[in-house]
């Protein structure tokens, strides 16, 4: 089956710094990638949708200047959390699909802790 990886799986950063999370589709080309955020004991909330070569579409309430998404190739999307604060601590999950018409495959997630 389709495999999606995320790196790193766990990251700790200091408040005010930026951190980049990578999402890769390992065995297929993903024209569409989604980024979700999951708080402890909570559901996954869609943050943004990105299409290869296009600007990401952000959900209402998600700061696009804080959560920078780049989908530069058909196998890689990155999420950069800029000027991170403790309230940004969360579990970030990406998913990838051939297109919006096809099933999403989820990465294992990245645990971000901001101190």
In whole angstroms, how large is the CA radius of gyration of the chain?
13
Query: Which of positions 12-31 make contact with another protein (CB under 8 A)?
Result: none
**CA–CA separation, 14 and 39 (whole Å):** 19
Minimum CB separation of residue 32 from another protein in Å reads: 7
DSSP codes of every residue in 80-100: EE-S--GGG-EEEEEEEESST
Of the residues 64, 72, 100, 115, which one makes contact with another protein according to CB under 8 A? 100
Binding status of residue 98 toward another protein by CB under 8 A: yes
Binding status of residue 93 toward another protein by CB under 8 A: yes
Query: Which of positions 56-85 make contact with another protein (CB under 8 A)?
Result: none
């Amino acid at each position: 089956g389709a495999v999606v990886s995320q790196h790193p799986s766990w990251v700790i950063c200091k408040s005010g710094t930026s951190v980049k999370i990578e999402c890769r589709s390992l065995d297929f080309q993903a024209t569409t990638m989604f980024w979700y955020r999951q708080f402890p004991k909570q559901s996954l909330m869609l943050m943004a949708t990105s299409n290869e070569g296009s600007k990401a579409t952000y959900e209402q309430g998600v700061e696009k200047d804080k959560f920078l998404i780049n989908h530069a190739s058909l196998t890689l999307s990155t999420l950069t959390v800029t000027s991170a604060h403790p309230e940004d601590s969360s579990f970030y999950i990406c998913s990838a699909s051939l297109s919006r018409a096809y099933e999403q495959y989820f990465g294992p997630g990245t645990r971000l802790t901001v101190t």
